[in-house]
Structure 1
Amino acid sequence: MSTVQAASGRRRWSVAHLRRRLVWWIMAVIIGIGALLFVYPFIWMVSASLKDQLEVFGSGLNLLPETPVWENYSRAWTDASFGQYLLNTVIVTVCTVVVVVVRCAMAGYVLARYKFAGKKAIMVVLIATLFVPTGYTIIPVVEISQRLGLLNSLTGMVIALSGAAHVASILLYIGYFRGVPKELEEAAVLDGAGFMSVFFRVMLPLAMPVTATVTLLTFLSTWNAFFLPLVFTFSRPDLRTLSVGMLAFVGENSVDWSGMAAAAVISLLPVVILFVLLQRYFVEGMAGAVKS
Structure 2
Amino acid sequence: MSTAISTMVRRHRRRRVPVGSIICAVVLLVVFLLPLLYLLNTAIKSNAEFFSSPGSLVHHPMWGNFFHAWQQGGFGHYLLNSVLYTAAGAGMGTLLAFLLGFPVARGYLKWLIPIEGVVGV
Class of the TM-score when normalised by the shorter of the 2 chains: 0.5 to 0.7
Partner of 1:79: 72
Please, which runs of 5 or more residues in structure 1 have no aligned partner? 1-19, 128-170, 176-292
Which whole-Å CA distance do the structure 2 matches of 1:77 and 1:113 have between them? 51
SS of equivalent residue, structure 2 residue 60: coil
Kindly indicate whether structure 1 or structure 2 has the higher relative contact order, using CA contacts under 8 Å at least 6 residues apart: 1
> Relative to structure 1, is the Cα distance of residues 117 and 38 closer, same or farther in structure 2, using a 3 angstrom cutoff?
closer
Q: How much has 1:32 moved relative to structure 2?
A: 0.8
Which whole-Å CA distance do the structure 2 matches of 1:71 and 1:45 have between them? 15
1:60 equivalent in alignment to 2:55: yes
Partner of 2:107: 114
Q: How much has 1:82 moved relative to structure 2?
A: 0.4
Question: Which one has the largest radius of gyration?
Answer: 2
Partner of 2:37: 43
AA of the residue aligned to 1:106: L
AA of the residue aligned to 1:86: L
SS of equivalent residue, structure 1 residue 41: helix
Which whole-Å CA distance do the structure 2 matches of 1:24 and 1:40 have between them? 24
The answer (yes or no) to whether the contact 2:42–2:54 under 8 Å persists in 1 is no
TM-score by length of 1: 0.31
Which whole-Å CA distance do the structure 1 matches of 2:21 and 2:110 have between them? 52
Which whole-Å CA distance do the structure 2 matches of 1:83 and 1:116 have between them? 44
Partner of 1:92: 85
> Relative to structure 1, is the Cα distance of residues 48 and 119 closer, same or farther in structure 2, using a 3 angstrom cutoff?
same
AA of the residue aligned to 1:94: A
Q: How much has 1:81 moved relative to structure 2?
A: 0.6
1:33 equivalent in alignment to 2:27: yes
Q: How much has 1:87 moved relative to structure 2?
A: 1.1
Which whole-Å CA distance do the structure 1 matches of 2:107 and 2:20 have between them? 51
Which whole-Å CA distance do the structure 2 matches of 1:119 and 1:32 have between them? 43
Which whole-Å CA distance do the structure 2 matches of 1:103 and 1:39 have between them? 36
AA of the residue aligned to 2:106: R
Q: How much has 1:117 moved relative to structure 2?
A: 4.5
Which whole-Å CA distance do the structure 2 matches of 1:46 and 1:101 have between them? 35
1:1-292 counterparts in 2 under 5 A?
24-56=18-50, 58-62=53-57, 65-120=58-113, 123=115, 175=121
Q: How much has 1:106 moved relative to structure 2?
A: 2.6
More helix by share: 1
TM-score by length of 2: 0.67
> Relative to structure 1, is the Cα distance of residues 61 and 26 closer, same or farther in structure 2, using a 3 angstrom cutoff?
farther
Deviations 1:254-290 (A, max 9, x none): xxxxxxxxxxxxxxxxxxxxxxxxxxxxxxxxxxxxx
Q: How much has 1:59 moved relative to structure 2?
A: 4.4
Which whole-Å CA distance do the structure 1 matches of 2:70 and 2:26 have between them? 35
Deviations 1:225-267 (A, max 9, x none): xxxxxxxxxxxxxxxxxxxxxxxxxxxxxxxxxxxxxxxxxxx
Which whole-Å CA distance do the structure 2 matches of 1:87 and 1:75 have between them? 18
Partner of 1:221: none
